């Protein structure tokens, strides 16, 4: 199990996934495959990918058969081409067949997130901008998807609602405006790691800068407008205030334009697409009797 993942939490998740899939028993495998037969399975990449979740893949089978053994040729974070075999798993044939779908689903999903993240990270290389995820994760899989983002070279945004104060459009509207929202947030800042506010235009930006949030999120702005916003924040920071305000761009960002946003000078670029739109990568698991 990767040291970046909580082993106990992962085991609980994997057990729940297996219980959902197996139900009262794998009737096909139990009726057709001898109980004492052992087999090995090769994980085979069918597309270019960044590997993520290979330890979890093996752990699925260990939960079904404690005698499971695995040999690894590649590890999480490595870029693989079609035909590469990152791991071979040897276990009870029944365990390999019963756990195959859950193990593959996770490996394909997490490798998909890592692969897409790496593409964005590579696209902004040399600019100083960091690629961040968001809370747009699959319910129940946030910890694993955040791990896959890190494997791909990205950075995690706030873990959950309790970690940071992130004031968005609806918060501003319900609080009574930018000033009211930030004033209330500053009074509660001891409860959060940082204070961030989302703005959609330069007027909101100017109103926000006065109150010194830690981060200003530039939402759905063009690269040109983002550059203006970053210049305004930097001008404020160089006018006597010792506090650096970070800038974050989000909304309307793709692989085609992400470098434009990075070159506009933002510190962070956050993308919900890293987790909500990453396609699963093509990986197979070919099983043979020992």
In the chain, the percentage of residues whose pLDDT exceeds 90 is 92
Cα separation of 36 and 268, whole Å? Answer: 54
pLDDT of residue 124: 98
CB of 102 closer than 8 Å to CB of 18: yes
pLDDT of residue 237: 65
End-to-end CA distance of the chain: 25
Active site residue 219: yes
Active site residue 244: no
Rounded to two decimals, what is the model's pTM? 0.95
Cα separation of 89 and 103, whole Å? Answer: 11
| Options 65, 198, 204, 248, the catalytic residue | 198
Lowest mean pLDDT of 109-118, 133-142, 220-229, 236-245, name the range: 236-245
239-249 pLDDT, tens digit per residue, is 555 578 999 99
Band of pLDDT at residue 109, cut at 50, 70 and 90: very high
Active site residue 84: no
CA distances from 105 to 7, 112, 165, 253 (A): 19, 11, 34, 27
- How high is the mean pLDDT of the chain? 95
| Options 136, 142, 206, 234, the catalytic residue | 136
Which residues are bridge partners to 269 per DSSP?
131, 249
| Options 168, 169, 286, 288, the catalytic residue | 168
Cα separation of 28 and 98, whole Å? Answer: 9
| Options 38, 101, 189, 234, the catalytic residue | 101
161-206 pLDDT, tens digit per residue, is 999 999 999 999 999 999 999 999 999 988 899 999 999 999 999 9
What structural domains does the chain harbor? 7-122+278-289 (3.90.1170.20), 125-276 (3.20.20.70)
Average pLDDT over residues 264-287: 98
| Options 55, 133, 196, 219, the catalytic residue | 219
Band of pLDDT at residue 5, cut at 50, 70 and 90: confident
Per-residue HEC secondary structure of the chain comes to: CCCCCCHHHHHHHHHHHHHHHHCCCCHHHHHHCCCCCEEEEEEEECCCEECCCHHHHHHHHHHHCCCCEEEECCCCCCEECCCCCCEEEEEEHHHHHHHHHHHHHHHHHHHHHHHHHHHHHHHCCCCCCEEECCCCCCCCCHHHHHHHHHHCCCECCCCCCCCCEEECHHHHHHHCCHHHHHHHHHHCHHHCCCEEEEECCHHHHHHHHCCCCCEEEEECCCHHHHHHHHHHHHHHHCCCCCCCCEEEEECCCCCCCHHHHHHCCCCEEECCHHHHCCCCCCEEEEEEEC
pLDDT of residue 158: 96
8-62 pLDDT, tens digit per residue, is 889 999 999 999 999 999 999 999 999 999 999 999 999 999 999 999 999 999 9
Q: Which single residue is written with the structure tokens 């997490």?
A: 110
Active site residue 101: yes
């Amino acid at each position: 199990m990767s040291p970046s993942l909580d082993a106990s939490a992962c085991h609980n998740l994997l057990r729940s996934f297996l219980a959902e899939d197996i139900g009262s028993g794998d009737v096909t495998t139990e009726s057709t495959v001898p109980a004492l037969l052992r087999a090995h399975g090769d994980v085979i990449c069918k597309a270019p990918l960044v590997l993520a979740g290979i330890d979890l893949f093996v752990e699925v089978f260990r939960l079904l058969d404690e005698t499971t053994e695995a040999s690894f040729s590649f590890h999480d974070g490595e870029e693989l081409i079609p035909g590469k075999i990152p791991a071979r798993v040897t276990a009870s044939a029944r365990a390999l067949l019963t756990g195959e779908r859950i193990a593959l689903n996770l490996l394909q999903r997490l490798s998909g997130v890592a692969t897409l993240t790496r593409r964005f990270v590579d696209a902004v290389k040399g600019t100083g901008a960091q690629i961040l995820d968001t809370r747009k994760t699959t319910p129940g899989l946030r910890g694993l998807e955040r791990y896959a983002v890190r494997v791909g070279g990205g950075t995690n945004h706030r873990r959950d609602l309790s970690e940071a104060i992130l004031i968005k459009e609806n918060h501003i509207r319900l609080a009574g405006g930018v000033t009211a929202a930030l004033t209330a947030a500053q009074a509660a800042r001891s409860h959060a790691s940082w204070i961030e506010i989302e703005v959609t235009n330069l007027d909101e930006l100017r109103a926000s800068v006065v109150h010194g949030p830690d981060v200003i999120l530039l939402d759905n702005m063009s690269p040109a407008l983002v550059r203006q916003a970053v210049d305004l924040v930097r001008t404020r920071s160089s006018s006597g205030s010792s506090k650096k305000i970070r800038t974050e761009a989000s909304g309307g960002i793709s692989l085609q334009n992400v470098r434009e946003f990075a070159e506009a000078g933002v510190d962070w670029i956050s993308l919900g697409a890293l987790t909500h739109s990453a396609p699963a990568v093509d990986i197979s698991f070919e099983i043979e009797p020992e």
